[in-house]
C-alpha cells in the first residue's frame, strides 16, 4: 500500500522506488537507482524555481547555499522517515543487518525515487506540489536566512578562511565494503594537520562528517583558550 501522502497510484512503480540495489537481481532495471537519478533532477529544478520566485533579492550565491541546504541528504532523509518510507524499504539481509533501513543516504535516495515516480505518472505540477508540501518546514527555515544549517563544509571553509586564511583539504583515506555497501573514510586537513575524520556512504556524506568533527574540535579549543587552558591561535 502506498502512503497516503504520496500522490501515486502505480504500486509496482512504488515498489521499485523502495528496492535497494542489494535486493535487486538486476540493479539497473530492478532497483530505485534510475528513479532516484531522475527524481534528483526534478527536485533540484523545483527548489531552484521556488527560491528564484520567492526570494528576488537573493543573489546567485545565496540561492545556491539555500538550495544545497534543502536538497542535501539530512533533510531529505528526515522527510522520508516522517513519511514512514523506512517501513517500505526492500533490502538484502546483509544491508538490513547493518542498519540500512535507518541509513540517511538510503532514505534520501528513496525520497528522490518517489519524486521521480510522481513526475512520471502525473507530471511536473503534481511533483512540484508534492515536493513543496513535504519540504515546507525546510523552506520556511531558509526563508528566515538560515540557509546552510547542516552544511558543515561551508561553515568550516568560512572559519578556516577567517581565522587562518587557509582552505580545508579533504582526502579519502580508504574505501571499505562491498559495491552495494561502500563506505568512504575521509579526513580534512588544514595544511598538513588532520582536523577531523568522517565516514559515509558517499564522499559528500563523509566530507560533511569530517567537517563537522573539525568544527567541534575548533569550538572546543576556542572554549578552552577562553578559560586559559589551551593556546589556540
Average pLDDT of the residues in 1-19? 96
Is residue 114 predicted with pLDDT exceeding 60? yes
Q: Is 112 a catalytic residue?
A: yes
Q: Considering only CA atoms, which of 145, 136, 155 is closest in space to residue 195?
A: 155
Radius of gyration (C-alpha) of the chain in whole angstroms: 20
Check residues 64 and 126 and name the one with the higher pLDDT. 126
- Which is catalytic among the residues 36, 95, 112, 205? 112
Check residues 61 and 115 and name the one with the higher pLDDT. 115
Q: Is 216 a catalytic residue?
A: no
Which grid cell sits at 106?
538510503
Question: What percent of the chain clears pLDDT 90, i.e. is strictly above it?
Answer: 60
pTM of the entire predicted model: 0.72
The answer to whether domain 152-226 has CATH 3.30.160.20 is yes
Check residues 104 and 148 and name the one with the higher pLDDT. 104
Burial degree of 29 (CB within 10 A; 0-12, 13-18, 19+): exposed
pLDDT digits (tens, 9 = 90+) for 50-85: 999 999 999 998 888 888 888 988 889 999 999 999
The answer to whether domain 11-143 has CATH 1.10.1520.10 is yes
Is residue 49 predicted with pLDDT exceeding 80? yes
> What is the 8-class DSSP label of residue 135?
T
Average pLDDT of the residues in 204-233? 79
Which stretch, 66-75, 82-91, 196-205, has highest mean pLDDT?
A: 82-91
User: What is the band of 181 on the pLDDT scale with cuts at 50, 70, 90?
Assistant: low
What are the extents of the domains in the chain? 11-143, 152-226
Task: Put residue 47 in one of left, alpha, beta given phi > 0 → left and psi -120 to 50 → alpha.
Answer: alpha
Check residues 98 and 125 and name the one with the higher pLDDT. 125
pLDDT reported for residue 81: 95
List all residues 6 or more positions away from 201 whose beta carbon is below 8 Å from its beta carbon. 103, 105, 106, 182, 183, 184
Which grid cell sits at 62?
545565496
Cα 211 from Cα 37, distance rounded (Å): 26
State the number of CA atoms in the 13 A half-sphere of 135 facing the CB: 30
Amino acid at each position: 500500500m502506498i502512503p497516503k501522502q504520496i500522490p501515486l497510484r502505480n504500486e509496482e512503480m512504488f515498489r521499485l522506488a523502495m528496492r535497494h540495489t542489494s535486493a535487486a537481481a538486476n540493479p539497473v532495471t530492478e532497483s530505485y537507482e534510475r528513479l532516484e537519478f531522475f527524481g534528483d533532477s526534478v527536485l533540484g529544478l523545483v527548489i531552484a524555481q521556488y527560491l528564484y520566485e520567492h526570494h528576488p533579492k537573493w543573489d546567485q550565491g545565496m540561492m545556491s547555499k539555500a538550495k544545497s541546504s534543502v536538497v542535501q541528504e539530512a533533510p531529505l532523509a528526515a522527510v522520508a522517515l516522517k513519511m514512514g518510507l523506512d517501513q517500505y524499504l526492500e533490502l538484502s539481509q546483509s544491508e538490513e543487518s547493518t542498519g540500512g533501513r535507518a541509513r540517511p543516504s538510503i532514505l534520501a535516495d528513496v525520497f528522490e525515487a518517489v519524486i521521480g515516480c510522481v513526475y512520471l505518472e502525473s507530471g511536473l505540477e503534481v511533483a512540484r506540489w508534492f515536493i513543496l508540501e513535504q519540504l515546507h518546514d525546510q523552506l520556511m527555515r531558509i526563508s528566515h536566512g538560515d540557509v546552510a544549517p547542516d552544511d558543515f563544509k561551508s561553515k568550516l571553509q568560512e572559519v578556516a578562511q577567517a581565522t587562518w586564511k587557509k582552505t580545508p583539504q579533504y582526502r579519502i583515506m580508504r574505501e571499505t565494503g562491498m559495491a552495494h555497501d561502500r563506505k568512504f573514510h575521509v579526513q580534512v586537513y588544514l595544511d598538513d594537520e588532520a582536523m577531523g575524520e568522517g565516514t559515509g556512504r558517499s564522499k559528500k556524506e563523509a566530507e560533511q562528517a569530517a567537517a563537522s568533527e573539525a568544527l567541534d574540535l575548533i569550538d572546543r579549543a576556542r572554549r578552552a583558550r577562553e578559560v586559559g587552558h589551551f593556546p589556540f591561535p
